[in-house]
Amino acid sequence: MIPHPEKAARGGEDAYFIEGNQWIGVADGVGGWALEGINAGHYARELITKAMGSTTAVLASISDQTLNVVNMGDTGFLVVRDGAVAARSTPMQRGFNFPYQIGSVGDDPFLAEVYRVPVEKGDVVILGSDGLYDNLFEREILLILSKLVQSGSGPETLARELANAAHKVGATHDGLSPFAKEAQSEGYSYSGGKMDDITCVVAFVQ
């Protein structure tokens, strides 16, 4: 997890968890709450209604060789098999840069999309906040994974390298990132990456 430089002092607005060898999740606190003096990361870390705020979130568990995923907003997941994307989530957005979200003022959690993906030994599961997917195209993610898997790297190293690569792109002001491509398709003049909190969790299917 790499926080936006301007949010680093308060720990950023993303959160993640890893529970045993079956559960993983990523949450991205919605930054708009800062306009009301509320720390958006607090809700993401707590995921309880005692805190004001809202968050996008992706949660995944595995059982009987099936990856069960629930996603709300522009967080998301990829399943990579033999160097190619075998399954992916679709961002849930009401409009450009306006994701669905759960929270004290948010969307009905039952609107979240549910995925059930058969997985195989050797599959790589990637969960990430929009800071990852706004800055790295799938082909770039696959290239990083391919190089590191061939070198015998573990999931923690893969997650760190993906986050670092996305952070590097986020600091650029030139070139075409996924966020810039989407912004341009909506009629905005935008180039380079999008500086943001970046969180990535990687798991290997055994």
Contact (Cβ atoms closer than 8 angstroms) between residue 62 and residue 33: no
Coil vs helix vs strand at 39: coil
Query: Quick one: pLDDT band at residue 37, thresholds 50, 70, 90?
Result: confident
User: How does pLDDT run across 98-119, given as a tens digit for each residue?
Assistant: 999 998 778 999 999 999 999 9
In three-state secondary structure terms, 91 is coil
Pairing of strands 23-29, 14-19: antiparallel
pLDDT of residue 105: 79
Strand, coil or helix: 151: coil
- Count of CB atoms situated within 10 Å of the CB of 105: 11
Who's near 197: CB < 8 A, 6+ residues apart? 1, 2, 3, 4, 7, 12, 13, 14, 28, 41, 129, 131
Tens of pLDDT, residue by residue over 127-157, are 999 999 999 999 999 999 999 999 999 999 9
**Integer Cα distance of 64 and 134 in angstroms:** 32
H or E segment and range at residue 132 = helix 130-133
3-state class of 176 per DSSP? Answer: strand
